[in-house]
Amino acid sequence: MTLRARRLWLGGWMVLVWTALWGDLTVANLLGGALVAAALMVVFPLQDREVAPDAGLRLRPLAGLGFVGWFAKELAVANLQVAWAVVAPRERIREAIVRVPLRTRSAAIQTLVADAVTLTPGTLTLDVVADEDGVAIMYVHVLSLEHADATRGEVADLEARAVRAFGGKPDRLRVAEPGGGEHGGEGERGEPGGVS
């Protein structure tokens, strides 16, 4: 799809949503929607970039449902763990920031992983930056650190599940590579309040 076609499609979609939100199909609502769509496309222009056919997101329905079900279970477990940490006076909070390299090159998958980490009680994505080799590094604040490598492994599992459900072919191959799950930090325990 050309950039012009994408702009027309997006503009038409925004006008349709604008009109639906007003709940009345009038010339004024259509013109208002067109003005809002034009203003949004000027402020937030679409990028003209070539995207490899396999680089984009792909929805695999069964893997997507599996991801949603697995994540719902993980959310429930994390909620119970954080609730226990709050009500049990013997549980010590051992917070730390863990550096987690990501294997995916897809900004959309990186965002999905960062959002999922942030939605999970007890963890928070602080930043995702690219290192000198172009590898995305996620910094995760952990409320109850057991082991930095365990946190890296949990994020790697989340990333692999997201890539299997929504990733393009290059990311799926990268995640499936032998050793693709190794995220550095041999035997690190992590220092409370520090970066591991």
User: Is residue 32 classed as helix, strand or coil in its secondary structure?
Assistant: helix
Closest to 172 (Cα-Cα) out of 103, 112, 119: 103
In-domain check, residue 36: yes
In-domain check, residue 119: yes
CATH number at residue 104: 3.30.70
User: Is residue 128 classed as helix, strand or coil in its secondary structure?
Assistant: strand
- In a shared domain, residues 73 and 105: yes
In-domain check, residue 192: no
CB proximity list for 176: less than 8 A, separation 6 or greater: none
- In a shared domain, residues 134 and 76: yes
In-domain check, residue 55: no
- In a shared domain, residues 161 and 103: yes
In-domain check, residue 48: no
In-domain check, residue 120: yes
Quote the CA–CA distance of 70 and 65 in Å, as a whole number: 8
- In a shared domain, residues 96 and 148: yes
Count the alpha carbons within 13 Å of 141 in the hemisphere toward its beta carbon. Answer: 11
Sheet holding 123-130, edge to edge: 96-101, 136-142, 123-130
- In a shared domain, residues 70 and 122: yes
- In a shared domain, residues 67 and 27: no
Residue by residue, pLDDT tens for the chain (196 residues) are 677 787 888 889 999 999 999 988 999 999 999 999 999 888 887 765 544 443 567 778 899 899 999 999 999 998 898 888 778 766 667 889 999 999 998 888 899 999 999 998 889 999 999 888 878 999 999 988 888 999 999 999 999 999 999 888 888 888 887 655 444 443 344 445 556 5
Name the maximum alpha-carbon separation found in the chain. Answer: 66
- In a shared domain, residues 30 and 74: no
In-domain check, residue 24: yes
The pLDDT, as a whole number, for residue 181 is: 44
- In a shared domain, residues 99 and 151: yes
Closest to 196 (Cα-Cα) out of 136, 150, 129: 150
Count the alpha carbons within 13 Å of 126 in the hemisphere toward its beta carbon. Answer: 13
Count up the domains in the chain and report the number: 2
- In a shared domain, residues 73 and 157: yes
**Is the pTM for the entire model greater than 0.95?**
no
- In a shared domain, residues 37 and 94: no
In-domain check, residue 97: yes
**Dihedrals φ, ψ of 117, to 5°?**
-60, -45
Domain that holds residue 124: 61-176
Bridge-partner residues for 82, per DSSP?
Answer: none
- In a shared domain, residues 39 and 125: no
- In a shared domain, residues 33 and 75: no
